[in-house]
Amino acid sequence: MTATVSTLDPAAKARRLAADDLQRQCAHWQAAASAFLDAEEFAPASAWAELESQTGLPLRQRLGAAVDDLVGLGGRTRTLAQGAARSPTDLVRASRAVQVLRRRYTQVETTLDFFGDAVSSRTSPGLRSTMRLLDGLADASMRPVLVAARQPVPPSLTYVKPGMGASILRAGIRLWSPGTINPVAAIKIVRHNLYRPTSLFHETGHQVAHLTGWTPSVRTAMAAALADDPALQRMWSPWASEIAADAYAFLHTGFASVSALYDVVGDTRTVLRWPVGDPHPIGWLRTRLGCAFCRAAYGAGPWDRLEAAMLAEHPIDRAEPQLQPLLARSSARMPQLAPAILAAHVPGLGGREMRTVIDPRRVSPAALGEFERAAGSSAWTSPHWRRTEGIRLVALAGLREAELPGSAPEWITRARRWMTGAAA
């Protein structure tokens, strides 16, 4: 007959009480984990259904595997908890297992919450149409390069959030739950830039640069352009990843990417600041580099006015005194830096330049003007153009908004209408 707690010696009684509580804790975490078996716990079925199959299916499968592993861990932990009273060793083993279970629960919950929140951000028909379009544009921006590099093209999941800057959770990285690899490129688009999404191509640039090995080449190209100024080399080298992504956005959308970027980085409090450890270039230099990309590819143009406006609004003498010489010397090197970055070879492309696959001349003001004339008003209403020239339509709308301030509201409205499908 099994002894009751009251008949056990003090040590055994203490183990029994602790073992009973471990079983209780285990039951709690098991029940909580079992709720994750229903994907609607984090996002409604209608939201999951909105995802393209190539995105939603692998994502659901990967998340489901993480939940199955968690539930399995719960079962094994429960078995240990049931035998925890047998000996001090069994009690310690079971106690540790319960702690592992609760930590794993939190990790899986964080993963599911992130993707559930992303999927659920598609809250209205117009927004769902826009996000599906952005998923497609993300794919279109990565596919030519990754196919040429013989790399798989990851599915894209865009989602909308408040804030100033976009971000990416790259496909292929480990997620919060152990053993779970992210199967999609999850790209945050901030609400204020939802209908001017040039930042989308900055984020896909991070994914492409990682898969093709482009960032180290950009760093090497910058170092060579700054070879006689070690202080500038040290300054610019940590920015290589963000600069590569900026260059990728420029190759896709031209001047539109530069003007949109300035709206993000042009805060008086930060545009001339160099925070320690920040991988992003100083906003003032980042904007000047974007304008230099435009000059390197197209010559003179509206970017010259944007740069002059920035210099008038944020003169260099407002920077910290010790930073001003670095800013001045960096500015003088823009004619060498910009072409060097655009010409950086891509290991994944056999040493070719990125612009041999993504030609920036397709989004020059002249080329966009010719496209606008050829397509006529149907450019903004035709499903054909929406499907085949979406990236250039982003570039065109952004260019017109930037170069024609008086009609900017009309261009913003036009971009919103074609992206939501309202103009179709």
Measured between its terminal Cα atoms, the distance across the chain in Å is 78
pLDDT greater at residue 37 or residue 210 = 210
* Per-residue three-class SS string for 166-206: CEEECCCCECCCCCCECCCEEEEEEHHHCCCCCHHHHHHHH
Q: Are 160 and 135 in contact (CB under 8 A)?
A: no
pLDDT band at 1 (very low <50, low <70, confident <90, very high): very low
User: What's this model's pTM, rounded to 2 decimal places?
Assistant: 0.91
Q: Are 420 and 130 in contact (CB under 8 A)?
A: yes
The pLDDT tens digits of the residues spanning 80-106 come to: 999 988 999 999 999 999 999 999 999
Q: Give the pLDDT of residue 192.
A: 93
Residue type, 395: A
Query: Residue 388: which residues within 8 A CB-CB, separation 6 or more?
Result: none
For the chain, percent of residues with pLDDT exceeding 90: 76
The pLDDT tens digits of the residues spanning 9-57 come to: 888 888 889 989 999 999 999 999 988 888 777 888 878 887 877 788 8
Q: Give the pLDDT of residue 347.
A: 98
pLDDT greater at residue 347 or residue 386 = 347
pLDDT band at 401 (very low <50, low <70, confident <90, very high): very high
For the chain, the average pLDDT equals: 93
- The C-alpha angle with vertex 300 and arms to 297 and 306, in degrees rounded to 5, equals 100
Q: Are 131 and 160 in contact (CB under 8 A)?
A: yes
4-8, 31-35, 81-85, 365-369: range with lowest mean pLDDT: 4-8
Q: Give the pLDDT of residue 52.
A: 72
User: Residue 324: is its pLDDT beyond 80?
Assistant: yes
Q: Give the pLDDT of residue 307.
A: 98
pLDDT band at 423 (very low <50, low <70, confident <90, very high): low
pLDDT band at 3 (very low <50, low <70, confident <90, very high): low
Please give the average per-residue pLDDT across 108-113, as a whole number.
92
The pLDDT tens digits of the residues spanning 229-281 come to: 999 999 999 999 999 999 999 999 999 999 999 999 999 999 999 988 899 99
55-59, 61-65, 86-90, 209-213: range with lowest mean pLDDT: 55-59
Query: Residue 318: which residues within 8 A CB-CB, separation 6 or more?
Result: 272
Q: Give the pLDDT of residue 199.
A: 97
E-state strands within 67-222: 156-161, 167-169, 185-190
Q: Give the pLDDT of residue 145.
A: 98
86-95, 141-150, 339-348: range with lowest mean pLDDT: 86-95
Please give the average per-residue pLDDT across 300-326, as a whole number.
97
Task: Enter the tokens of residue 136.
Answer: 């497609």
Q: Are strands 167-169 and 185-190 parallel, antiparallel or unpaired?
A: antiparallel
Q: Are 122 and 50 in contact (CB under 8 A)?
A: yes
